[in-house]
A and B are shown apart, each in its own frame.
Chain A
Amino acid sequence: MNALIGRKLGMTQVFDQTGAQVPVTVIQAGPCVVVQRKTLEKDGYEAVQIGYEEQKETRLTRPVAGHFRKGGITPRRVLREVRLEEGGSDTKVGDVFSAEIFEGAGFVDVIATTKGRGFQGVVRRHGMIGGRASHGSGNHRKPGSIGMREHPGRIFKNKRMPGHMGSTQVTTQNLELVQVRKDDNLLLVRGSVPGPKGGIILVRKSIKKASRAS
């Protein structure tokens, strides 16, 4: 297994061996149970669907309840699908994974939904610098020119303009794993992680930086 669903608990700091302060995000990762196993023969690709946190059966729709009953799993709140790692073909429905799968992983990626920022202007949303503040400019946080003249006679697609910001899925890659506490299923990851405290996140072993052990 190479990924787990979890919750972001918040940030704090720890001292490392040299006494330096390291900013860390605390993540509650797992335990996750395999709810469905997708196979090459049946689904065309190899993957596992994992579930996180117990849920009351009365809160489920009947199709979802049936999905859990099929695997004989008690209902879960969150479901995510992850690709099967190499050599993981003996993973089967009902298997439970917890934070210890990250021991020795070195680096992880975190996938989560960012905090919603609502409708934002161009300065905050795209980092434009706006106009002059003083000397009567009146052009304070405007985007400036958005195009040319009769030729091309239109605004190019993807022109950066004001609009909704945040609430998008973001992947933060190559976060250093500072500590794995398998007793409490906690991961301490250097730096920040997208989303609010208590938000659902997916943690996986880094795909770009391999583990130090292997």
Chain B
Amino acid sequence: MSKILEKIDAEQRKPADQIPDFKIGDTVDVHVRIREGDKERIQVYSGVVISRKGHGARENFTVRRISYGEGVERVFPIHSPNLAKIELNRRGKIRRAKLYYLRELAGKKSRIKESRD
């Protein structure tokens, strides 16, 4: 990538201290800014990170949760200004790079062990 593109990309990224070092398998709370008319409020969406991909300002991650018995997945750009905060709640111990297999599982089988380190 050219130096100029690199610079523009860097401007779009958030400072590193605003993004916790979360990995795939972790459980996170994502604080999303929602605009309704001219009012702004924050909604918290929590679930398991099942994928994290892309690089630079384009990096994004997928959070899966079970909402009223239905699986819901949302993809967020990590550096989006609409994300007020990402909170890391629990580290997961996993053996896959992407946890897409969770889509086929429910209940006890879809649990992820907590990592102890």
Contacts and interface: CB of A to CB of B under 8 A. Distances in A.
Interface in A1-29: 9-10, 12-15, 18-19, 21, 26, 28
Contact of A15 (B12, B33, B35): B12
Interface stretch (B62-70, B79-87, B99-107): B79-87
Interface string B1-38: 11011001100100000000000000000000101000
A184 interface: yes
A184 B3 CA distance: 12
Interface string A168-207: 0000000000000000101010000000010000000000
A186 B8 CA distance: 11
A15 B79 contact: yes
A15 B80 contact: yes
Interface string A114-133: 00000000000000000000
A18 B35 contact: yes
Contact of B2 (A10, A15, A18, A188): A10
Contacts of A186: 4
Interface string B67-81: 000000000010111
A210 B1 CA distance: 33
A19 B81 contact: yes
Given A15-B12, A18-B35, A19-B33, A9 B4 contact: yes
B12 A26 contact: no
B57 interface: yes
A15 B81 CA distance: 8
Interface residues of A, number: 15
A19 B1 CA distance: 24
B90 interface: no
B111 interface: no
A12 B35 contact: no
Nearest to A28: B4
A12 B80 contact: no
Contacts of A14: 8, 12, 57
A14 B58 CA distance: 9
Given A14-B12, A18-B35, A21-B77, 5 more contacts: A9-B5, A13-B58, A14-B57, A15-B81, A19-B80
Interface of A: 9-10, 12-15, 18-19, 21, 26, 28, 184, 186, 188, 197
9 contacts: A9-B4, A10-B1, A10-B5, A12-B8, A12-B9, A15-B80, A18-B35, A18-B82, A197-B2
